[in-house]
Amino acid sequence: MSKISSRKLPLTLIILFFASLTAHAQFLKYVNGNNSWNPDSLGNHRAVVNVTTVGPVCETFIFWRRHDDPTNKSVIVVDAKTNKRIFNVKTENISREGGTVYFQPTSGPGKYYIYYMPYKVTARSNYPNAVYYQMQNTADAAWLEQTNHADNANVLYLESVNAMNSFYPMEVIATKAEVARMLHLNPGKDYFVFTEDRAYPIKMPHDLPAHWVPQGPFNKFTGTALKGENYSYQLGIYPVTTDLKNISLTFSDLKDAAGHRIPATVMSCLNTNGTKYDGTPLTNTVNVSKGDVQALWCLVNIPAKAIAGAYKGTVTVKADNAPATTIGIGITIQNKQAINSGVNDPQKQTRLTWLNSTLAQQNDVIKPYTPLQVDAQTISLLGRKVILNNTGFPEQIQTFFTPEMTETTTTPKNILGENIHFHIVNATTHKDIALKSQGVTFTQKDPGTVKWQASNTSDLLKMDVNGSIEFDGYMNYTVKLTALADVDLDDTKFHIPFDKASAKYLMGLGQKGGLRPDTVKWHWDVATKNQDGAWIGEVNAGLQYSLRDENYVRPLNTNFYLQKPLVLPTSWGNGGKGGMLITIKGKTMLAECYTGPRSMKKGDELYYNFTLLITPFHTINTDFQWATRFYHKYNKLDTIKATGATVVNIHHATPINPYINYPFIAHDAMKSYIDSAHRLGLKVKIYNTVRELSNSAYETFPMRSLGHEIYSTGKGGGYSWLQEHLGSDYIAAWYVPEIKDAAIVNSGMSRWHNYYVEGMNWLVQNLGIDGIYLDDVAFDRITMKRVKRVLTQNGHPGIIDLHSANQYNKNDGFNNSANLYMEHFPYLSRLWFGEYFDYENNSPDFFLTEVSGIPFGLMGEMLQGGGNPWRGMVFGMTNRMPWSDNADPRPIWKAWDYFGMTGTKMIGYWVDANPVKTNNPQVLATVYKKQGKALIAIASWAPADTNIKLTINWQALGINPNTARITAPGIRNFQPVQTFGLNDEIPVLKGKGWMLVVE
């Protein structure tokens, strides 16, 4: 083919000639380059040509069949013998189908490489952007004059840098001439249906693969499956005359010659029907534009008891505006049983059925929580109680946790100063519209969920209230306000009146966590602020509220909020008129959510939905904190064991977990590592979350066929693989340059969460993981509960720790990490809220509310810069080895073991009855008390070095002062050995402190 010269024949004749040659799929050969060159300077693709002559100019036509736009993209020619770039290069007739390249064969006869998509990488390494070089003239004028007398060079083959980057076969385009010929041979069709095996996912949305076209639409599919296998195949829909509307598939039973059946009930189309992440049915409308290609993935869950044989049936493609097309389906079932439904071989797309999973959806009670109990209109749950009034809203919410947060008590602490209620103000009378309640009716009373409804009416309005509470303290309200007549309203106000004694701290609404200001004024600003509520509370009693409507969609987070922010609630936001005011009102601290004036016509409906989280969720588990010591790095197990760590966190981009949020490729190595760790008494957790997904996921293109259900819309760009294989309309996420793992941002709540839960289940059952490490979270509490259930099945520990970078910044919408993720706290084992957190310039109240986890029943660790070990100890926190600089908690671990922290009672500085206090309010003391002795953690927030004295309630401490002594054990990088008298002044350096043993 390379004997043809573009200077001797018109370009159209060349294309037609090549089209005729390739009419029966005779393409250039595509081979794997096995990473034999640096793609970040030369690109991922090259043509290997052979020169047989000795002239100064060679010419070759490369029939590359590209689906990108090659206009003005550079080519680089390299001499294979010298590995040097050739600068005397010229191109002509460049198109997506092919192009002519002239070059100087500097070493005479032999091989030459023509790189036709070279790029350079800009921006930081973990968020790179590949910029493709533009064509520039590097040839000298004398050489260019000789290109009219060029010798021909043969294209031997096309080569990609590795298999991952190859375009063959599904991204090799058919030419316009080939498509025209196919249309000519198949007249009168509104659309074509191509069938394709699961081994070759359809990838191009705007081009036909070249190997489809010579044969044309072939209305038959044949494949081979195992008994019990999750099998799949594809239909490629290609409209040729008009856009297709509302495509659907109808499956027949599959039957063999003997009459055995595979029922149509085990067949489905992933693109049109399924099950949402919350277990409800999903129906998608699939439209396809003229000239585009839409993959429809057909799932067939072969019954385990199927009889081996050749089965035949049909699938019928229907559209609202075109005739139906029937495709013959033939599946030969081998006399062999699939292992685990074939999901151990995900490269065969056997896990696509996971996208419709309902695993662990049943809302049964998860330990340590207890079943809900209903007595009249009082609902009791672990450590808390909700009393409903006849409106359906809480009359009172109580908690039963001690201030220490280590125990529960029978003495209630009221969260509310009066009941939660609405004020709906009539614009005519400027008075509240009185709604008459018909009382509460319970509609569900299960151990995990209790639901109720109430109706409140007047002549003008009706308010239907549907409420629910779950075993962990999550409450969800759907409040529908219906106008029974035309009405003008001054305002609609929602009041949460807090008891002042349960409203010491606030977090949210543009406020960092800490002491609550007396007044907070806030307006909706969803475009830039990820804020729709707040947490207000004390250490042992609090309430988070979040305002929503029926159109609520979870936004993106962690650097991506601005690309998919909150949707302004029609009801609460009221076109920007709504907001919140937090202020002291009488005996209460009132959180007022207002909407401003509006008019409602008869029949209008507004949804004033909201959620509540009652905190704390459970007591803190201090013994878990002392005994469970994370090693946050892949390393040799003997080395980890020697540190004293007990749990290994395996990050992504490691040999046994290389691909971000897709721990299913190096699973054999992962299992071997976990088995070895268990033999040493170590537990292993892996990095696996939902926010972005590796491009190495086998299901990437099937999920891309679902539009934006799983992958977010976006401006594209990023690393070269993303640009070359996804093209556009995505958000590029984290990239690991060492292994070239390029991730794509998930869209939010989707069926990927079903897959995620199934994946966790598979990892527990097949690899024996002991838990997961979450790096921020992009799923909601429904998925978190399901994950916790599968991680703790059959006695597995199910340890979950959550890391978050500080979300209080522009890109994240100025949210508080603890506020953002509070719905997940009931299922976490530990927090690691440390990246970009400032441990030196924030108050202890910030530590308490945003970092420690204590007001929610959790404990945490520090990260940024190794943290502040003295301040950390006031909250029972160390840093975590060996992830960041100065992160070596071993000296403190050693001090814990020397003292014997197991079994101690933690009495924080925030406890009024703390038996040890300092005489300086800026120097705080937390006591770890046990029989006959105590450890006192002291930390300073004073602006300068200071001296303090301790005030000790010896009786409460349980130690005789006449025989007591106070010592500071030597702790490397923390404090020297020292002894203090009972009445001595203790010097405390700025930002530091002590650990003192009293015995």
Say how many CA atoms lie within 13 Å of 932 toward its Cβ.
3
Residue 20 above 50 pLDDT? no
Provide long-range contacts, Cβ within 8 A and 24+ apart, for 126-130. 126/734, 126/735, 126/736, 126/737, 127/718, 127/732, 127/733, 127/734, 127/735, 128/718, 128/719, 128/735, 128/737, 129/717, 129/718, 129/719, 129/732, 130/717, 130/718, 130/719, 130/720, 130/723
Q: Work out the average pLDDT over 547-551.
A: 96
Q: Rounded to whole angstroms, how far apart are CA atoms 379 and 387?
A: 6
The set of residues, in sequence order, having a beta carbon less than 8 Å from that of 136 and lying 6+ positions away, is 74
Beta bridge partners of 535: 507, 544
What CA dihedral angle connects 121, 123, 129 and 130, to 10 degrees? Answer: -20
Q: How confident is the model at residue 14 (pLDDT cuts 50, 70, 90)?
A: very low
Beta bridge partners of 952: 916
- Give CA separation, 928 vs 874, 904, 996, 998, in Å: 10, 6, 10, 10
Q: Rounded to whole angstroms, how far apart are CA atoms 130 and 108?
A: 33
Beta bridge partners of 493: 423, 594
Q: Work out the average pLDDT over 271-275.
A: 98
For 895-918, write each residue's pLDDT tens digit: 999 999 999 999 999 999 999 999
Contact assessment for residue 607 and residue 464, using Cβ atoms and an 8 Å cutoff: no
**Alpha carbon 819 to chain centroid, angstroms:** 17
Q: Please tell me the predicted confidence (pLDDT) of residue 883.
A: 81
**Cis status, amide bond into 882, omega within 30 of 0:** yes
Q: Please tell me the predicted confidence (pLDDT) of residue 884.
A: 79
* pLDDT, greater one: 558 or 352: 352
164-178, 557-571, 576-590: least confidently modelled range? 557-571
Q: Please tell me the predicted confidence (pLDDT) of residue 480.
A: 98
Q: Please tell me the predicted confidence (pLDDT) of residue 885.
A: 78
Contact assessment for residue 543 and residue 413, using Cβ atoms and an 8 Å cutoff: no
Closest CA to 931 of 951, 902, 910, 908: 902
For 185-221, write each residue's pLDDT tens digit: 999 999 999 999 999 999 999 999 999 999 889 899 9
Q: Rounded to whole angstroms, how far apart are CA atoms 971 and 645?
A: 18
Q: Rounded to whole angstroms, how far apart are CA atoms 242 and 244?
A: 6
Q: How confident is the model at residue 810 (pLDDT cuts 50, 70, 90)?
A: very high
Contact assessment for residue 928 and residue 904, using Cβ atoms and an 8 Å cutoff: yes
Q: Please tell me the predicted confidence (pLDDT) of residue 835.
A: 87
Q: Please tell me the predicted confidence (pLDDT) of residue 123.
A: 80
Q: Please tell me the predicted confidence (pLDDT) of residue 435.
A: 97
Which amino acid is residue 63, in one-letter code? Answer: F
Percent of the chain with pLDDT over 90: 94
Q: Sort strands 151-152 and 286-288 into parallel, antiparallel or unpaired.
A: unpaired
Q: Work out the average pLDDT over 149-174.
A: 97
The set of residues, in sequence order, having a beta carbon less than 8 Å from that of 841 and lying 6+ positions away, is none
Residue 5 above 60 pLDDT? no
Tokens of 391: 């409106």
Q: Sort strands 630-631 and 647-650 into parallel, antiparallel or unpaired.
A: parallel
Q: Rounded to whole angstroms, how far apart are CA atoms 682 and 785?
A: 25
Residue 463 above 80 pLDDT? yes
Residue 4 above 60 pLDDT? no
DSSP code string of 487-555: EEEEEEEEEEEEEGGG-SEEEETTEEEEEPPSEEEEE--TTT---SEEEEEETTEEEEEEEE-TT--PP
* DSSP element (H, E) containing 573: helix 570-573
* DSSP element (H, E) containing 122: strand 119-122
Contact assessment for residue 859 and residue 852, using Cβ atoms and an 8 Å cutoff: yes
Its pTM surpasses 0.85: yes
Beta sheet of 84-86, edge-to-edge order: 30-32, 154-160, 45-51, 110-115, 76-79, 84-86
Tokens of 823: 């719905």
Tokens of 989: 């350096």
For 830-869, write each residue's pLDDT tens digit: 999 988 999 999 999 999 999 999 999 999 999 999 999 9
Q: What is the mean pLDDT of the chain?
A: 95
What 8-state DSSP symbol labels residue 776? S
* DSSP element (H, E) containing 736: strand 732-736
Closest CA to 529 of 812, 243, 191, 816: 812
Q: Please tell me the predicted confidence (pLDDT) of residue 19.
A: 41
Closest CA to 104 of 77, 84, 83: 77
Closest CA to 307 of 349, 358, 254: 254
For residue 903, give the 3-state DSSP assignment: coil
Q: How confident is the model at residue 528 (pLDDT cuts 50, 70, 90)?
A: very high
What 8-state DSSP symbol labels residue 139? S
Q: Rounded to whole angstroms, how far apart are CA atoms 208 and 180?
A: 12
What 8-state DSSP symbol labels residue 330? E
Q: Work out the average pLDDT over 32-41.
A: 96
What 8-state DSSP symbol labels residue 321? T
For 394-414, write each residue's pLDDT tens digit: 999 999 999 999 999 999 999
For residue 956, give the 3-state DSSP assignment: helix
Q: Rounded to whole angstroms, how far apart are CA atoms 695 and 681?
A: 35
**Alpha carbon 498 to chain centroid, angstroms:** 34
What 8-state DSSP symbol labels residue 761? H
Residue 231 above 60 pLDDT? yes
Q: Work out the average pLDDT over 503-511.
A: 97
The set of residues, in sequence order, having a beta carbon less than 8 Å from that of 750 and lying 6+ positions away, is 277, 709, 710
* DSSP element (H, E) containing 891: helix 890-899
Exposed e or buried b per residue across 97-120, where buried means at least 16 C-beta atoms within 10 angstroms of its C-beta: bbbbbbbbbbeeeebbbbbbbbbe
Q: How confident is the model at residue 181 (pLDDT cuts 50, 70, 90)?
A: very high
Q: How confident is the model at residue 557 (pLDDT cuts 50, 70, 90)?
A: confident
What 8-state DSSP symbol labels residue 150? P
Q: Work out the average pLDDT over 242-248.
A: 98
For residue 711, give the 3-state DSSP assignment: strand
Q: Work out the average pLDDT over 46-61.
A: 97
Q: Please tell me the predicted confidence (pLDDT) of residue 483.
A: 98
Q: Please tell me the predicted confidence (pLDDT) of residue 11.
A: 33
Q: Please tell me the predicted confidence (pLDDT) of residue 107.
A: 97
Q: Rounded to whole angstroms, how far apart are CA atoms 143 and 659?
A: 48
For 759-768, write each residue's pLDDT tens digit: 999 999 999 9
Q: What are phi and psi of 315, to 5 degrees?
A: -130, 130
Q: Rounded to whole angstroms, how far apart are CA atoms 558 and 743?
A: 14
Residue 350 above 90 pLDDT? yes
Beta bridge partners of 514: 506
Closest CA to 244 of 327, 318, 182: 318
The set of residues, in sequence order, having a beta carbon less than 8 Å from that of 921 and lying 6+ positions away, is none
- Give CA separation, 998 vs 310, 642, 844, 930, 966, in Å: 81, 30, 24, 10, 5
Contact assessment for residue 372 and residue 385, using Cβ atoms and an 8 Å cutoff: no
For 707-752, write each residue's pLDDT tens digit: 999 999 999 999 999 999 999 999 999 999 999 999 999 998 999 9
Residue 650 above 90 pLDDT? yes
Q: Please tell me the predicted confidence (pLDDT) of residue 773.
A: 97
Q: Please tell me the predicted confidence (pLDDT) of residue 23.
A: 38
Q: Rounded to whole angstroms, how far apart are CA atoms 487 and 492?
A: 12
